Structure 1
Amino acid sequence: MTGGEGRPPAARVLISEIEGHLLVAATRAEGRTAAARFTAPFEWLGDDRRREVEERFEAEYLALARSSWQRTAERAGRLRGEYEERYRALRRRLLAGFLLGAGAVLGCAGALVLLLGQG
């Protein structure tokens, strides 16, 4: 979430934990708001039943959010692995191309030196 590459590992972990708690708190608040909107038309519900429905709605809302976050994190991990592998392959190809080009230049320079040395 934050660009903490320059921070020590302990600080990055602490910041991640704080961000996680804030995200869960915000999602809980969203869940409570959505639950209140959901139960508002059900005027026939008593206060105790309404509160029970709102609590269950909030819990389900948070569970769905966590599930979504988990899938997103898993997908991000897979994408990171794919991109790292492509980056390594690109670096290998670039190095091979550079070495091939350097070898060709050195070969041409050697041939030129031999030709000029004979003449």
Structure 2
Amino acid sequence: MSRFLNDIEGHLLLAATREEGRTAAERFTAPLGWLTDAQRAEVERRFEAEYLTLARSSWQRTAARAGRLRDEYEAAYRGLRRRLLAGWLLGGAVALSVVVVLCPAR
């Protein structure tokens, strides 16, 4: 189910980015009144394609960075868990030692 939702989210993100690219392309060509309709359509198509390529590249860099951060945080978490366990074990050993020293066997 999670994979399905991720796929839907990806398609929605791609559709939104395509629309942003089309809108940006139209804004870009709007002041270029000397373009013919065919030229304007070609410039807009290329602009949109480049916009999508740049967005995809940005998403890939972001995903790679997120993966590296996840690995770093997981490593830090494992280290903290090990230290906490070591602290509990040391505290338990100290407490047991104090009990043994203060309450000798009869």
TM-score, structure 2 as length reference: 0.98
Equivalent residue runs for 1:77-92 within 5 Å: 77-92=67-82
Alpha-carbon separation, structure 1, partners of 2:3 and 2:99? 55
Other structure's SS at 2:103 match: helix
Count of residues in correspondence between the two structures: 106
Which digits, 9 at most, give the CA deviation of each residue in 1:40-84, with x for residues without a partner?
010000000000000000000000000000000000000000000
Matched, 1:96 2:68: no
Equivalent residue runs for 1:1-119 within 5 Å: 11-114=1-104, 117=106
Unaligned runs of 5+ in 1: 1-10
TM-score, structure 1 as length reference: 0.87
Alpha-carbon separation, structure 2, partners of 1:100 and 1:19? 48
Quote the RMSD (CA, aligned, Å).
0.9
Q: Which amino acid aligns with 1:65?
A: A
Alpha-carbon separation, structure 2, partners of 1:27 and 1:91? 41
Other structure's SS at 1:43 match: coil
Unaligned runs of 5+ in 2: none
Q: Which amino acid aligns with 1:41?
A: P
Alpha-carbon separation, structure 2, partners of 1:74 and 1:90? 24
Could you list the structure 1 runs, at least 4 aligned residues long, displaced by more than 6 angstroms after superposition: none
